[in-house]
Amino acid sequence: MTRSPAEREEDVLGALARRRTGSVADVAAAIECSPSTAGTNLRKGEAALVDACLDG
């Protein structure tokens, strides 16, 4: 099953929240994707959270 971009961003943010420390490579390993994909999804997820906070 293919996950949507928003779902992948949630995966990355969730993995980061559970770990609290570590690198993008650690998060990528936890969710089984490449570090570049994890980094991209992390940036997009963080941007979505900031936008939601500023708009809310």
Closest CA to 28 of 12, 44, 17, 40: 12
pTM of structure: 0.67
CA–CA separation, 24 and 14 (whole Å)? 13
Mean pLDDT of the chain: 84
Q: Which residue has the tokens 């420390």?
A: 21
pLDDT at 40: 93
Residue 27 has pLDDT above 80, yes or no: yes
Buried b (16+ CB within 10 A) or exposed e, 24-40: beebbebeebeeeebbb
pLDDT at 19: 67
CA–CA separation, 42 and 11 (whole Å)? 9
The mean per-residue pLDDT over the stretch 21-27 comes to 83
